[in-house]
Amino acid sequence: MTTSTTTRAVAVPRPAAKGRRRRLSRKHREWVAAGLFLAPDAIGLLIFVALPMVLSILLSFYQVSGFGSYTWVGLGNYERMMHDPLFWDSMRITGIYVLVLVPVLFCVSLGLGLLIKQRLPGLAAYRTALFLPYVISLVVVGQLWKFMLDDQTGLVNRTLRAAGFEGRSWLGDPDLALGSVIAVTVWVMMGYYMIIFLAGLQDIPKEYYEAARIDGAGPWTSFRRITWPLLRPTSFFVLLMSTVAALTGGLDLVFVLTNGGPANGTSLAIFYIYQQAFGFGEFGYAAAMGSFLVLIMVAFSALIFALTRGGRFDHDD
């Protein structure tokens, strides 16, 4: 090979300028290739995520009329936020929403993951049925549940009445509406996290369970000593993603199911921010609340990282 190259160099002399052109090393070429492959995503993230975030933070220092007029107000929007009882009420509701939704979703998804890991007849159909709500439009889900939870004719109340109980106003009673929204959210999201848990469960070698069984371990001991510790990275992922989703999501379902009512009972922070921006044209104020919510989300994520050590196993330390 060396000979061939030398021969060619002699046979076809290159112009001086080209001969002097510095060629990239293999390592550098790999870096360039990697950069080119990453570029579309990186540029997309930069334009559609990072840039809007920066602009949103900048916007939070302005009073925006919604018609092209921007007035610098410094920390005025943040000061207003601190004294806005409706915002803090929406933060309280968001807190309850997150604290109830995330553990419930976690447990239900994990339970379903464990269930569909078993070799049961008709498992594929069962797995598909559980995952199906996740792929349905949230607006359709909202409408569907609106009918199911209807006070007079909804399936839920009809069933309750048939069983001798009294029907309730699931979406019209402030004491029940948030719970109903959480229940519908769990119904929608459980299939997705179930699949994530299933992937994590299938990664655990069967030999561990066989060895445990030989040693006399029952199902609970196997779960506690093998499944739970080895699921740590998956659990971390589910916990983090569902917390972020709960903090910043829920708008679609709330919009369709309750429109923030009854009596602001389901007015999550994200809904209140949306209402201020698009309903009232308070884009600057909404940006300030949005930035604050991002801060809360980062704090929550950091807390989860700290508590779970980023999902790492003990021996990774």
Partner 1 sequence: MLQHDNDVGRKGPSRRGLLTAAGVMATAAGASALLSGCGAARASGNTLQFWNFYAPQQTPDPAVKRQAQWFIDLVDAWNAGHETQIELVYVPQSTYTNGFKLPSAFAAGSGPDIFLLSPGDFLRYYNGGVLTDLTPYVDREVIDDYGDNLDSRTVDGKVYALPMEVEPLALYYSVDAWEAAGLSEGDIPTTWDQLLDVGDRLRTDTRAGLVFETNPGYYQNFTWYPFLWQGGGEVLDRDGNVAFDSRATRQALQLWKDAVEHGIAPRTLPAAGDVISAFRGGNVAIWQQGIWQVSSFRSYAPDFRYGVFKLPVPPGGEYTTALGGWSFCANSLGRNPEVAAEFCGWALGRMTEECIDRMVSWCTEAKSDVAPRLTALERGAAAGGYDFWAMKKFRDEIAPGGRAEPRYPPVVYKAISDAIQGTMLAGRGVDSEAERAAQSIEAYTRSYEGASLV
**Distances in whole angstroms, Cα of residue 269 to Cα of each of 21, 84, 298:** 59, 12, 16
The structure tokens 């009232």 sit at 280
269 binds partner 1 (CB under 8 A): no
| Neighbour-count burial of 284, counting CB atoms closer than 10 A to its CB (0-12 exposed, 13-18 middle, 19+ buried) | buried
Q: What dihedral do alpha carbons 133, 233, 108, 136 form, nearest 10°? A: -10
Distance of closest approach, residue 85 Cβ to partner 1, in angstroms: 10
CA dist 213 and 174 (Å) reads 49
Residues 11-30 that bind partner 1 (CB under 8 A): 12
76 binds partner 1 (CB under 8 A): no
Choosing from 6, 71, 137, 143, the residue that interacts with partner 1 (CB under 8 A) is 143
152 binds partner 1 (CB under 8 A): yes
Q: For the window 78-107, what string marks contact with partner 1 as x by the rule CB under 8 A? A: --------x---------------------
Distance of closest approach, residue 22 Cβ to partner 1, in angstroms: 17
Count of residues engaged in binding partner 1, rule: CB under 8 A: 43
Joined together, the tokens standing for residue 271 give: 């809904």
Of 48-56, 64-72, 111-119, 228-236, the segment contacting partner 1 by CB under 8 A is 64-72
Of 74-82, 169-177, 185-193, 198-206, the segment contacting partner 1 by CB under 8 A is 169-177
Of 194-202, 213-221, 241-249, 255-263, the segment contacting partner 1 by CB under 8 A is 255-263
Residues 275-304 that bind partner 1 (CB under 8 A): 277-283
Backbone phi and psi for residue 64, each to the nearest 5 degrees, phi listed first? -110, 125
Distance of closest approach, residue 146 Cβ to partner 1, in angstroms: 4
> Is the Cα dihedral 71, 75, 80, 86 positive or negative?
positive
Closest CA to 293 of 17, 26, 95: 95
- Give long-range contacts, CB 8 A cutoff, 24+ apart: 57-60: 57/287, 57/291, 59/283, 59/284, 59/287, 60/284, 60/287, 60/288, 60/290, 60/291
Binding site for partner 1 (CB under 8 A): 1, 4-5, 8, 12, 64-69, 86, 143, 146-147, 149-153, 161, 167, 169, 171-174, 258-265, 274, 277-283
